[in-house]
Structure 1
Amino acid sequence: MSVYPPAGIAAPARRGTVAVFLGVTFAVTWGLWLPLLVDARTGPSGTLDTVPATFFVASAGPAVGAVAATWFAAGPAAVVRWARRILRLRFRGFWWFAALGMPALYYLVGFFTAAFAAGGWPDPAAFGTTGKLPGLPWPLVALVWAATFGLGEEAGWRGWLLPVLAERVTVFWASVLVAAVWIVWHAPAFFFNPTYQAMGAGIVGWMLALVLGSFVLSWMTAGARWSIVPVVLWHAGFDLLTAADQSAGVIASTISAVVMVQGAVCAALLWRRRMARHPRHSPRSAAA
């Protein structure tokens, strides 16, 4: 598996294209999250009692940023080529297995650990359900996660920013840079999202998990010939399992630990390929 992107699949052809991506991405997400932050900080509890739809809509920031940057770099035709590339289904069957099999593994490990710790299996009726999406059964919850924080984020992070950076540095270091942007992008949520506010000092572990998770998702994206379909499915499955109300505590922490181990392995694989000889590609166009 080559971890270098094909020449020019997403690299900016105009100076300032990365700045356009970052500016639009943060403006869209933070602009939609700002009213939630204000409501939470001015309310009696200091957090949101209910999560409005704008919380999920804001996840489209990276995707909108990718569209804006690609258009800025090479026009509307490049946007079409970029969309076809990130959503193509022509990749090895292994990556379908990885996209669906890894969340299944997380489920088994996390829920068996919870059953051992509590002396009984978690309530199957509560699987995947969350107070952020009240009343929705888990298949619809999974669909929402896939369409929002799955596609909305990954179209930008792994669909645009990762291959752009990988034209300049190795995928290993591009993964680190994407993770750094990803961490900062979440910043406003720590002032209104109850899940994040409850972390306390655990935010350090959360940031480490995000960096290691970035290696996992970069490994999958590069392996799937730079399609983001596998990572969208993975992202949706991960969110379904860890963001569920019943997952708070043992299940979520166990799954995060498994992903961190996977991330360390993927980081080693990407680092090793960095040490091998690979042809470097110079950016020539915005998308292909």
Structure 2
Amino acid sequence: MQTSVKPAALPAKKLLPFILVSFGFTWLCWLPLLLNKQFAAGMPVLPGQFYLGSFGPLLGTLISLRLPGGGGIATWSKTAFSLAFPKKWLAIAAGLPLAYGAVAVLAHTLITGSMPDMHRFGLTSDLPPQFNIWMTSGIWMLTFGIGEESGWRGYLLPALHKRYSLFTSALLVALIWMAWHLPAFWFNESYLGMGFGIIGWAISLTYGSVVLAWICAGSRWSILPVIVWHGIFDLLTASDQAAEIMAMVCSMLVILHGVLLMRTLGRRRSQPPKL
């Protein structure tokens, strides 16, 4: 008699270590920054400590992979950092945020009557002033690119997709991703004073998760293209000059793109482990 095999429920104990380590490491790194900003605590901090916190999801992934039944780091890395994916996805991953940026520059010019200062484009007070745009983009990709995407799209998304559709998995990743950012709202200049803008930020992050899930799945679960997308997008939206108009326009375009992808991702049903 032929019997059907139902997708196994995703055990909470499998993802709990990942979440605890990812949040714990990042929040410990950011705690001194928060205390110094809010209470003038005078706690010592390392240069680039904000960026150091970005490696929480990567650390959470590595710890989870080392646990019994975790699959192993070597097996995971062969997929997560594989170059065996259609190279059009690398072009898509780089081209999309650059297209967002071009539209944002045009919008900035039309609204303010002048183009952004291209000599300061992409630079941020979070990094030394001598950093140029190439150095800054490299830092974003090496930290929040690799550090975050190793966890969110490299581990968490495919783990959730074993039970849920790709769209639902992307939404669940977005919820966890949002919560991970919470301490930054009390010390980072890009988040401070956001006010009701946090609603737009949350919507943008949600649909950004949808766009990145689409790219990651198209790249056969290699995270290299999404690292590129994430790094370029952060360069465009987290720089000092991107405040308000440029960041808002880029976010609106991500939301629009994510909405257009909803049905496509919804059709990609769960992929339970092969038995």
Structure 2: distance between partners of 1:133 and 1:283:
46
Q: How many residues get paired?
A: 266
Structure 1: distance between partners of 2:168 and 2:179:
17
Counterpart secondary structure, 1:231: helix
Unpaired segments ≥5 residues, structure 2: 1-6
Matched, 1:61 2:52: no
Matched, 1:236 2:227: no
Matched, 1:270 2:265: yes
Q: Which has the higher contact order (CA 8 A, sep 6+)?
A: 1
TM-score between the two structures when normalised by the length of structure 1: 0.87
Which of 20, 24, 28 lines up with 1:27 in the alignment? 24
Aligned to 2:170: 175
Deviation (angstroms), 1:279: 7.6
1:216-235 CA distance string (max 9 Å, x none): 00000001000001100000
- For residues 105-144 of structure 1, what are the structure 2 equivalents within 5 Å? 105-135=99-129, 136-144=131-139
Matched, 1:197 2:208: no
- Report the AA paired with residue 24 of structure 2: A
Runs of 4+ in 1 over 3 A off after TM superposition: none
Unpaired segments ≥5 residues, structure 1: 1-6, 45-49
Structure 1: distance between partners of 2:199 and 2:207:
13
Counterpart secondary structure, 1:194: coil
Cα 1:186/1:283, change in 2 over 3 Å: farther
Aligned to 1:39: 36
TM-score between the two structures when normalised by the length of structure 2: 0.91
Which of 81, 85, 90 lines up with 1:87 in the alignment? 81
Structure 1: distance between partners of 2:192 and 2:124:
17
| C-alpha contact (below 8 Å) 1:51/1:132 kept by paired residues | no
CA RMSD across the alignment:
2.3
Counterpart secondary structure, 1:16: helix
- Report the AA paired with residue 91 of structure 2: F
| C-alpha contact (below 8 Å) 1:17/1:73 kept by paired residues | no
- Report the AA paired with residue 282 of structure 1: P
| C-alpha contact (below 8 Å) 1:167/1:283 kept by paired residues | no
Aligned to 1:165: 160
1:150-180 CA distance string (max 9 Å, x none): 1100000000000001001111111111000
